[in-house]
A = this chain, B = another copy of it.
Amino acid sequence: MSESIIPQPYLLFLGDAPDALAAKVALGIKQWRPHLCVGQLSLPGCQADCGLPEMSLAEAWAAGARTLVIGVANRGGIIAPGWIALLKEALELGMDLAAGLHNRLSDVPELKETADRLGRALFDVRHPTRTFAVANGRKRAGKRLLPVGTDCSCGKMYTALALEKAMQERGMKATFRATGQTGILISGAGVSVDCVVSDFVSGAVEWLSPENDADHWDLIEGQGSLFHPSFAGVTTGLIHGAQPDALVLCHEPTRSHMRGLPEYAVPDLETCMAANLLTARLTNPAACFVGISVNTAKLAEAEALALLAEIEAKFGLPTVDPVRQGVDRIIDAL
């Protein structure tokens, strides 16, 4: 596992999340790093629940919490004025703060002043705090797997995290490499590549996934889609920097159009795989698909299994829903 730059363990702040989706960052951390979470803190009216003990700041501090993680996104992704007194109190108790919101913790004068005065850290993980070199395209030792998608938000991070967990359970050397804010808050490290200056995206990914043991796998979090007109440039830079040996295609079969763009159709799987191979093979001529990960949450069990079987028969690749079935069959085929 890569070393966390965010002090652990965490108290997860759920705010007044109107539903579970609004608290998906907290839920993700609890799901993938339960041992790092000592408790949760909700405000009145909160409709999300991570199933952790509800704690005050003082109780969490006593229980060992070292960072209060803002695990909720309100409308606009901003730091709500009503949170500030509580966040300040956490700093005063001794905790650092971490958030993946658009607005920076460090742009809130009260928080910045308090953190500076007390020597606490504010982790605005969406915003890179370092610069990167331009990619050099040189081969690094170690193996790399990258999930790529027919669209945004179709299961790429989940697939990478599920692969990391299952590989580690088998005793394989495997590290999740976060490329977005939720992944960074889950794993405690990473680079939010869509916030990197465009010239340095591939270089940032080369930095994120450095040379490693020959039998070590980096599971690099994918971003966007080569077929999303808003974000395909980010995806391209990520693929080139990742130099993936193995690709996993991620797909959400009920989506009628690309996320946010009703006039753009979701590509068919063949077309999507061909484009991703063409792109990946520029920096790794041996890149190939090793599996297909389908998010069948919106389908009934029978329908889901039939679809997975159909896709598997068509492409001859292990095809799974990581939530329903896990990702073992993809690892078996590596």
Interfacial residues, chain A to chain B (CB-CB below 8 A) = 134-138, 193-199, 201-203, 226-227, 229-238, 240, 261, 263-264, 275, 278-279, 282-283
Q: Which residues of B contact A227 (CB under 8 A)?
A: 282
Say whether B233 contacts A234, CB under 8 Å.
Answer: yes
Q: How far is the CA of A163 from the CA of B233 in the complex (A)?
A: 26
The answer on a CB contact under 8 Å between B199 and A135 is no
Give 6 nearest A-B pairs by CB, closest first: A233-B237, A137-B229, A194-B199, A236-B236, A233-B236, A198-B198
Bound-state CA distance A240–B196 (Å) is: 19
Task: Assess A234 versus B237: contact at CB under 8 Å? Given A198-B197, A282-B227.
Answer: yes
Among B202, B226, B234, B261, contact of A230 (Cβ-Cβ < 8 Å): B202
Whether the pair B201, A229 counts as a contact (CB closer than 8 A) is no
Known pairs A193-B198, A195-B198, A202-B231 / 6 extra A-B pairs, C-beta < 8 Å: A134-B230, A134-B231, A198-B201, A202-B233, A229-B283, A232-B282
Q: Chain A interface mostly helix, strand, loop or mixed?
A: helix
Q: How far is the CA of A201 from the CA of B264 in the complex (A)?
A: 19
Chain B nearest Cβ from A150, distance in angstroms: 13
Bound together, the chains give a CA A229 to CA B134 distance in angstroms of 10
Could you say which of B134, B198, B232, B278 contacts A275, with CB atoms under 8 Å apart?
A: B278
Q: Which residues of B contact A235 (CB under 8 A)?
A: 233, 236
Question: Min CB distance, A272 to chain B, in Å?
Answer: 12
- Assembly CA distance A261 to B134 (angstroms): 11
| Docked complex Cα distance between A264 and B226 (Å) | 22
Contact of A197 among B136, B197, B278, B279 (CB under 8 A): B197
Which one of B198, B203, B233 contacts A240 once the chains associate, using CB atoms below 8 Å? B233
Flag if B199 contacts A195 (CB, 8 Å): yes
**Separation in Å of the A141 CB from the closest CB of chain B?**
16
Chain B residues whose C-beta falls within 8 Å of the C-beta of A282 in the assembled complex: 227, 229, 232, 264
- Residues of chain B within 8 A (CB-CB) of A199 are 194-195, 230-231, 234
CB distance from A34 to the nearest CB of B (A): 31
Write out the residue numbers on chain B whose beta carbons fall within 8 Å of the beta carbon of A240. 229-230, 232-233
Could you tell me if B201 and A233 are in contact, using CB atoms closer than 8 angstroms?
yes
Q: In whole angstroms, how far apart are the Cα atoms of A134 and B229 in the complex?
A: 10
A263 / chain B contacts, CB cutoff of 8 Å: 137-138
CB neighbours (8 Å) of A196 from chain B are: 197-198
Residue in B closest to A231 when the chains form the complex, CB atoms: B199
Residues of B within 8 A of A138 (CB): 263
In the complex, A235→B278 CA distance in Å?
A: 15
With known contacts A236-B236, A275-B278, A278-B275, A230–B198 Cβ distance under 8 A: no
